[in-house]
Structure formats: C-alpha cells, structure tokens
Amino acid sequence: MLICIPDILTSDEVLYCRKLLEFAQWIDGKVTAGAQSGQVKKNEQLPEESPEAKEAGNIILDALGRSPAFISAALPNKIFPPLFNRYAGGQYFGSHVDNSIRGVKGTAVRIRTDLSATLFLNDPATYEGGELVVESNYGAQEVKLDAGSLVLYPSTSLHHVQPVTSGTRLCSFFWLQSMVRDAGQREHLYDFDQSIQELSAKDGVDSPVAVKLSGLYHNLIRRWAEV
C-alpha cells in the first residue's frame, strides 16, 4: 500500500528546513547504502550526525506526531531519525530494496524497516525528473509530490529514483517500525480507520455505530500490535 500525505510540513517549516540545508556539508549518498544498492546509488546526503540534519529532523518528527493521517497509516512504534538527500546533474538511485534492519548511529537502537518514507522539500516545478517509482502487484507507481508532502510505502518494495535532469531534488527520507508488523493487517486497519472517520464526520463522533466500530478498531490493534 502506497499512501501520499499532503502538508506534513507547513510552508514556513519547508522554507526553514531548506535554509538549514543550503549551507550544510554534503557527502556521497552511498554512506547509508547496502552492498547491492550502493552500486546503483548516485546522489548526495547529509551526514547523520550533522547539526543541520538533526535540527531539520526534529522539525519533521514533531510534524509527524501532529499528523493524524500519518499515525493512522503507519501506526509507528520506532522512527529512524530523518535523513536528507539531494539529486542534481543526472543523479539517480537505481532499483533496490531497503535494508531490513537499520541501526541508529552511535546508539544501540535497531529498527525493523516496515515502511519507508520520502518527504519532498522543494517545488516539483523547480526540477525535471526525480520521480520516486515504487513497484507493486499493480505495476509501477510514480510519485513526485509538492513540498511538505510525504509518501509512505512498504520497505519490501522494489523502488528507484529517476535521474534528475535539471534543477535539484531535495528530500528527507527515513524508515519506521510499525506497531503492526503485517502489511495486510496494517492496510485493513487504515481502511477501517478511514471509514470510521468518514462515518463520524457524517453522523457525529458520538453516533452509536461510530462508537461501536471505534471499539472494534482498537480491539484489533490490541490483537495485532507489538509494543
């Protein structure tokens, strides 16, 4: 399941993050690539420990915490500290699958990568190419979102980034471990929650049916969640 969530960051937050990253020191993006993906990764990345990455990452984490749509889709347990990459001058990232386990540098924290996320930080009209292409059972899906918007997709998915032929593509990317490991169960819970929200908007949050369905939803989380 691929889910696009608009306006994770406000326009002011997007501008502030871009200013932070403008004068940061970038390095070869292969630093976080695995053995296979490192062969097809041509981009630049901020070091995980850089002050700019940490400050912008904290802004993003705060924004994720206030987004009901993100919480509903991801049911996050652990979130890897956001990283940042940029593509220009024909840079690209070939087809790959993200590593199954990610360790947070300098800590003992390990995260099982259930979901991958890309948060776009500049206007898509300012660069050519750079589409994120995610393979699924329904074919390839191309994603290129407005600044401040985020896409979530299974980390098990084969995916790639098309070459950026003009301008610069600037994004944050990260992974998360969901409370619900099974992708099918997560998808059912997301659809269930969206239906409850639609019913509540129509009939009110106190409607007997909405209350009953909300109880069933939380009982399913109790059955399936790992915390």
Annotated binding site for 2-oxoglutarate: 169
The residue written with tokens 């206030």 in the block is: 66
Maximum pairwise Cα distance, the chain? 57
Q: Do the bridges between strand 44-45 and strand 83-88 make them parallel or antiparallel, or are there none, so unpaired?
A: antiparallel
Side chain identity, residue 40: V
How buried is 1 (Cβ within 10 angstroms: 0-12 exposed, 13-18 middle, 19+ buried)? middle
Q: Which residues are annotated as a binding site?
A: 96, 98, 159, 169
The residue written with tokens 């909405």 in the block is: 210
CA dist 1 and 136 (Å) reads 8
| CA-wise closest residue to 20 among 72, 56, 45, 74 | 56
Q: Which residues are annotated as a binding site for Fe cation?
A: 96, 98, 159
